[in-house]
């Protein structure tokens, strides 16, 4: 169990919570302001269309993308015109989180609907269990054609087993990142070319068959390349270039790749046959709490993600304000396309809400942070999942709690009053909530069980790449 079923009663949300994220009064903020309680009031039911219940599904994920650096979430710079336009056409999740702020674990969770401690890929370099069910695998069994194209080394099949879940899995990594000796990533251009080539081939060969296509872009992952062509639009001063400036130009660059991807895909089909998901594997800490990057901590900058689901004519534009996670994606998509999941899933379906019904009730969610990557398998402790656990956390409405394993540090924040998580409310008399302890218990127990399974050994090339990506100490 990862998600803790507390607070089954729907909560009335306080509008203050939106302010830190919707800083600028954007048009989506205006939409959100129409209905203080979120989805049910916003989304009147569009009539269900008959006979076209097998849409193609396009899932776009962007690595290390902060929600609050996108225009749709109120960012002041025009980093993301394409993403903003796309997200405005569907259900926008104002409050969404990743179960673990690390690429491999998060993407395995998104596609299987399982939290990291249950699918077992808790660190980069540790594989999922073999034989799990997943969105692409189940849909393939129901007639969907499936393909995944990844821009990040950490998602390679030999590291994750994710490729086993797709009929086609593209790993054309032709570019270096950091100071790596080997090519470890795909540029947005390459990735878009590969995905479009596959979609066009599928259309020619098997046009009537729906597809499930996942594309994972690596930009704007560190070290934040500078894309000069977007400097003027973003108001970047090249003489005083900051890391945040560079990060923002990376978002503009990936936005352009996504524009080209959408344009190409939409040429192949009618809009009402295409269900699109846009999200990120995790966010990125840009100096908050003296930390640059992601993975180690459960603070909002790296835990919070953008999330939107678009299906023209089937999902009316609107904003959802209650807590959602990447684990909700599998049950939601299964419901929307009318296919039963192969087993019980941890997340909740938003399909009813998307059709104008009730949003799922608020409940407490369990989050986890682990060390970045396993080492080369040179000693047993590298392979032990329980040794990699750094923190667990829970979010219950506005209250967030974190328990750091090393040092047994307990933190608690009121996200409405203290969105920057600067004021730890834990006092000497405080004790962790039952929800936090249950989260810790569930995760620890599962990791202990996994440690008793056989370990794997990483090959030399993989160890080299993980070092180059900054995931090995």
DSSP string, 184-251: -B--HHHHHHHHHHHHHHHHHHHTTS-EEEEEEE-TT-TT----GGGHHHHT--GGG--HHHHHHHHH
Q: Is 391 in the site for Zn ion (CB under 5 A)?
A: no
In 287-440, beta strands by DSSP E: 292-293, 307-311, 318-320, 324-325, 365-370, 389-396, 399-404, 409-414
Closer CB to Zn ion, residue 154 or residue 383?
154
Closest approach of Zn ion to the CB of residue 186, in Å:
14
Of 150 and 402, the one with the shorter C-beta distance to Zn ion is: 150
Q: Any contact of residue 438 with Zn ion (CB under 5 A)?
A: no
- Give every CB contact of residue 454 below 8 A, 6+ residues apart in sequence: none
Shortest spacing between CB 102 and Zn ion, in angstroms: 7
Q: Which CB atom, from 218 or from 319, has the smaller least distance to Zn ion?
A: 218
Q: CB of residue 427 vs Zn ion: minimum separation in angstroms?
A: 35
Residue 154: CB minimum distance to Zn ion, A? 7
Stretch touching Zn ion by CB under 5 A, among 96-104, 369-377, 433-441, 464-472: 96-104
Closer residue to Zn ion in complex, CB, 219/281:
281
Whose Cβ is closer to Zn ion: residue 3's or residue 63's?
Answer: 63
Provide, rounded to whole angstroms, the least separation between the CB of residue 470 and Zn ion: 11
Q: Does 245 bind Zn ion (CB under 5 A)?
A: no
Q: Which one, 63 or 100, has the nearer CB to Zn ion?
A: 63
Binding range to Zn ion, per CB under 5 A, among 28-36, 172-180, 275-283, 351-359: 275-283
Number of helical H runs and strand E runs in the chain:
17, 16
Which one among 79, 80, 103, 368 touches Zn ion, defined by CB under 5 A?
A: 103
Phi first, then psi, for residue 161 (nearest 5°) are 70, 10
Task: Count residues near Zn ion (CB under 5 A).
Answer: 3
Residue among 300, 313, 310, 249 at smallest CA distance from 279: 310
Please state whether beta strands 91-93 and 318-320 pair in parallel, antiparallel, or not at all (unpaired): parallel
Sign of CA dihedral 445, 471, 257, 193: negative
Q: How far is the CB of 51 from Zn ion (least distance, A)?
A: 39
- Rounded least distance, CB 294 to Zn ion, Å: 7
CA 456 from chain centre, in angstroms, equals 26
124 makes contact with Zn ion (CB under 5 A): no
Interaction between residue 281 and Zn ion (CB under 5 A): yes
115 to 134, 300, 304, 361, 452: CA distances (angstroms)? 12, 19, 16, 19, 19
Owner of token pair 């996994």 = 450
Q: What is the distance between the alpha carbons of residues 183 and 108, in angstroms, rounded to a whole number?
A: 23
Residue 35 or 390: the one with the smaller Cβ distance to Zn ion is 390
Residues 39-78 that bind Zn ion (CB under 5 A): 63
Q: Write down the least CB distance from residue 199 to Zn ion, Å.
A: 24
> In the complex, which residue's CB is closest to Zn ion?
103
| Interface contacts to Zn ion, rule CB under 5 A | 63, 103, 281
């Amino acid at each position: 169990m990862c998600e803790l079923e507390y607070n089954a009663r729907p909560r009335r949300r306080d509008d203050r919570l939106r302010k830190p994220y919707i800083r600028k009064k954007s048009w989506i903020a205006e939409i959100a302001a129409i209905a203080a309680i979120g989805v049910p009031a916003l989304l009147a039911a569009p009539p269900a269309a008959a006979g076209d219940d097998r849409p193609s599904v396009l899932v776009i994920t962007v690595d290390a993308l902060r929600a609050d650096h996108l225009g749709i979430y109120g960012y002041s710079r025009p980093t993301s015109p394409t993403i903003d336009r796309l997200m405005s056409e569907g259900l926008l999740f104002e409050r969404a989180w990743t179960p673990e702020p690390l690429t491999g674990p998060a993407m395995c969770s998104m596609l299987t609907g399982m939290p990291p401690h249950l699918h077992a890929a808790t660190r980069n370099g540790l594989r999922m269990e073999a034989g799990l069910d997943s969105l692409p695998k189940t849909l393939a069994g129901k007639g969907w054609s499936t393909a995944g194209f990844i821009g990040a080394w950490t998602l390679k099949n030999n590291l994750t087993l994710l490729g086993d879940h797709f009929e086609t899995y593209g790993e054309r990594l032709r570019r270096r990142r950091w100071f790596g000796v080997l090519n470890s990533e795909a540029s947005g251009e390459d990735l878009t070319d590969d995905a479009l080539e596959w979609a066009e081939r599928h259309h020619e060969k098997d046009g009537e068959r729906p597809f499930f296509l996942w594309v994972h872009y690596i930009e704007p992952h560190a070290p934040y390349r500078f894309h000069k062509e977007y400097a003027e639009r973003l108001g970047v001063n090249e003489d005083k270039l900051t890391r945040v400036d560079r990060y923002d130009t990376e978002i503009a660059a990936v936005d352009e790749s996504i524009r080209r991807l959408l344009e190409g895909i939409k040429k192949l089909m009618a809009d009402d046959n295409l269900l699109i998901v846009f999200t990120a594997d995790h966010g990125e800490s840009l100096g908050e709490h003296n930390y640059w990057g992601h993975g180690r901590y459960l603070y909002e900058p790296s835990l919070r993600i953008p999330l939107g689901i678009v299906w023209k004519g089937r999902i009316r534009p609107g904003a959802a304000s209650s807590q959602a996670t990447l684990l909700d994606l599998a049950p939601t998509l299964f419901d929307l396309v009318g296919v039963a999941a192969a087993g019980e899933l941890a997340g909740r379906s938003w399909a009813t809400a998307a059709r104008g019904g009730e949003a799922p009730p608020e409940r407490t969610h369990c989050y986890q942070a682990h060390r970045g990557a396993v080492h080369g398998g040179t000693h047993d402790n590298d392979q032990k999942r329980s040794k990699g656990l750094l923190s667990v956390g829970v979010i219950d409405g506005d209250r967030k709690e974190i328990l750091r394993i090393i040092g047994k540090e307990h933190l608690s924040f009121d996200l409405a009053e203290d969105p920057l998580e600067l004021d730890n409310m834990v006092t000497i008399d405080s004790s962790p909530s039952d929800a936090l302890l249950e989260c810790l218990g569930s995760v620890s127990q599962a990791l202990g069980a996994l440690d008793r399974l056989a370990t794997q050994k990483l090959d030399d090339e993989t160890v080299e790449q993980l070092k180059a990506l900054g995931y090995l100490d």
